[in-house]
Amino acid sequence: MTIIVTGANGRLAKELIPRLEKYDEVCALTKAELDITNKGQIEEILTKWNPHCIFHCAAYTDVDACEQEYEKAFEINSFGTLNIAKAAQNCLADLIYISTDYVFDGMKQSPYLEEDKPNPINIYGESKRLGERFVQLIHSKSYIIRTSWLYGSCSPNFVNRMIENAKKKKEIQVSNSEFSSPTSMKDFVEALVKISKHSYGTYHLVNEGSCSLYELAKQIYQEAGADPVLVSPVSSGKEECLAKRPGYSALGKSKDFSMRSWQEALREYVQAVL
Are the beta carbons of 136 and 200 closer than 8 angstroms? no
For residue 74, give Cα distances in angstroms to 65, 79, 89, 101, 131.
Answer: 12, 6, 21, 17, 8
What does the pLDDT profile of the chain (274 residues) look like in tens digits? Answer: 999 999 999 999 999 999 999 999 999 999 999 999 999 999 999 999 999 999 999 999 999 999 999 999 999 999 999 999 999 999 999 999 999 999 999 999 899 999 999 999 999 999 999 999 999 999 999 999 999 999 998 778 999 999 999 999 999 999 999 999 999 999 999 999 999 899 999 999 999 999 999 999 999 999 999 999 999 999 865 557 899 999 999 999 998 888 999 999 999 999 999 9
The full length of the chain comes to 274
Q: Is 153-180+208-250+260-273 in CATH node 2.40.50.140? A: no
Model pLDDT, residue 54 = 98
Rounded Cα–Cα distance for residues 79 and 89 (Å) = 15
Are the beta carbons of 28 and 6 closer than 8 angstroms? no
Rounded Cα–Cα distance for residues 102 and 105 (Å) = 7
CATH superfamily of 2-150+182-204: NAD(P)-binding Rossmann-like Domain (3.40.50.720)
In the beta sheet, which residues pair with residue 202? 144
Angle at Cα 9 formed by Cα 3 and Cα 11, nearest 5°? 95
Rounded Cα–Cα distance for residues 242 and 221 (Å) = 29
Query: How many alpha carbons lie under 13 Å from residue 49 in its C-beta half-sphere?
Result: 24
Domains of the chain, residue spans: 2-150+182-204, 153-180+208-250+260-273
* 143 noted as active-site residue: no
Residue 208: which residues within 8 A CB-CB, separation 6 or more? Answer: 181, 258, 259, 260, 261, 262
DSSP annotation of 110? S
Phi, psi angles (nearest 5°) of residue 165: -65, -40
Going through the chain in order, the beta strands assigned E by DSSP cover 2-6, 25-29, 53-56, 94-100, 142-147, 150-151, 172-175, 179-180, 183-184, 201-204, 211-212, 231-234
Model pLDDT, residue 154 = 77
Report, in angstroms and rounded to the nearest whole number, the Rg of the chain calculated over CA atoms: 19
Residue 272: which residues within 8 A CB-CB, separation 6 or more? Answer: none
Q: Which of 60, 124, 143, 221 is catalytic?
A: 124
